[in-house]
């Protein structure tokens, strides 16, 4: 798929937006978004389906609750997937591509896994009973001034903070912190993983570099509150930032799963997937 926007710049620009001008996307914006979303691919061999909802087209009485978290938005994106291996990683990867594309057009978005009435959105987006419906996002023109709710949500999640490099990236095993010299060509890609969005800003990703192999691990920070593993979505977002950032530097590789990962794991940490450079 052709790369339509600057990766590093767009990833650095993106922030969750929770209040919007009270108008929907114009025809051109809507068409750009819908065209792009229908072309998105992901490296996890899982088909991800996108939905675009114009609330102005709904019956007047039809409710769409976000617990007051989102204000003003007239349009929403949704994503569904079949319940298979790597479904949530695929959702994370593909939906983040759409979020970044929207950001590059100057539009606001906000990943939402929790603060919306899933049944109401399911009806409005005509989602089938057989599909998993993990995530929605408003999409629209950001209001300059943040609402009180947005400010509060950001404060609770400490949204403007991220874990330090040395808490996230390791060399050969979890015993050794990865130095930036050792990370060499991969410093930017790792830095762009570090600043990625995640559910409640928990940043569950850990990466162990072993030569030209990068092993991705997940630190479990939630119980089973969503009925699906929201932190696997976060892992897919990490994979998206990593791979797109490398593509921008003409470094090409692929994701795969090690059958037997020989790395001793810290508490609550599980292996997710690996990436290797293709010559």
Chain residues that interact with ligand FMN, rule: CB under 6 A = 15-16, 69, 110-115, 153, 157, 159, 197-201, 230, 233-234, 237
Give the nearest residue (CB) to ligand FMN: 197
Q: How far is the CB of 133 from ligand FMN (least distance, A)?
A: 13
Nearest to 218 by CA among 261, 174, 269: 269
Edge-to-edge strand ranges of the sheet holding 132-140: 48-54, 75-81, 132-140, 108-109
Q: How far is the CB of 160 from ligand FMN (least distance, A)?
A: 7
Which is nearer to ligand FMN, 190 or 230 (by Cβ)? 230
Question: What is the rounded distance in angstroms from the CA atom of residue 10 to the CA atom of residue 248?
Answer: 12
Which is nearer to ligand FMN, 20 or 111 (by Cβ)? 111
Q: How far is the CB of 5 from ligand FMN (least distance, A)?
A: 18
Q: How far is the CB of 31 from ligand FMN (least distance, A)?
A: 26
Which is nearer to ligand FMN, 16 or 274 (by Cβ)? 16
Q: How far is the CB of 173 from ligand FMN (least distance, A)?
A: 28
Which is nearer to ligand FMN, 91 or 208 (by Cβ)? 91
3-state secondary structure of 166: helix
Chain centre distance of CA 220: 17
Q: Is 215 exposed, middle or buried (0-12, 13-18, 19+ CB in 10 A)?
A: buried
Q: How far is the CB of 15 from ligand FMN (least distance, A)?
A: 4
3-state secondary structure of 279: coil
Question: What is the rounded distance in angstroms from the CA atom of residue 72 to the CA atom of residue 136?
Answer: 15
3-state secondary structure of 20: strand
Nearest to 127 by CA among 184, 202, 179, 76: 76
Residue 152's H or E segment, with its range, is helix 148-157
Beta-carbon count within 10 A of 173 CB: 12
Q: How far is the CB of 260 from ligand FMN (least distance, A)?
A: 29
């Amino acid at each position: 798929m052709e790369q339509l926007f600057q990766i590093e710049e767009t990833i650095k620009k993106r922030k969750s937006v929770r209040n919007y001008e009270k108008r929907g996307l114009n025809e051109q914006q809507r068409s750009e978004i819908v065209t792009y979303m229908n072309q998105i691919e992901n490296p996890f061999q899982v088909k991800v389906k996108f939905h675009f909802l114009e609330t102005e087209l709904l019956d007047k009485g039809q409710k769409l609750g976000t617990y007051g978290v989102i204000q003003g938005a007239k349009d929403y994106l949704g994503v569904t997937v079949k319940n298979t291996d790597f479904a949530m990683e695929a959702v994370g990867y593909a939906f983040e591509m759409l979020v970044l594309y929207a950001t590059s057009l100057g539009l606001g978005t906000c990943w939402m896994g929790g603060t919306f009435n899933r049944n109401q959105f399911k009806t409005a987006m005509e989602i089938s009973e057989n599909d998993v419906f993990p995530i929605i996002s408003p999409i629209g023109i950001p209001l300059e001034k943040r609402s009180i709710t947005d400010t509060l949500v950001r404060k609770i999640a400490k949204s403007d903070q991220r874990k330090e490099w040395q808490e996230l990236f390791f060399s050969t095993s979890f015993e050794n912190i990865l130095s930036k010299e050792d990370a060499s060509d991969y410093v930017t890609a790792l830095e762009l993983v570090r600043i990625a969005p995640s559910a409640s800003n928990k940043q569950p990703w850990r990466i162990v570099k072993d030569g030209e192999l990068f092993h991705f691990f997940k630190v479990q920070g939630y119980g089973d509150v969503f009925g699906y593993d929201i932190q696997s979505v976060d892992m897919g977002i990490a994979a998206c930032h990593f791979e797109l950032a490398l593509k921008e530097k003409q470094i090409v590789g692929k994701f795969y799963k090690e059958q037997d990962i020989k790395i001793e794991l810290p508490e609550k940490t599980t292996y997710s997937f690996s990436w290797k450079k293709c010559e």
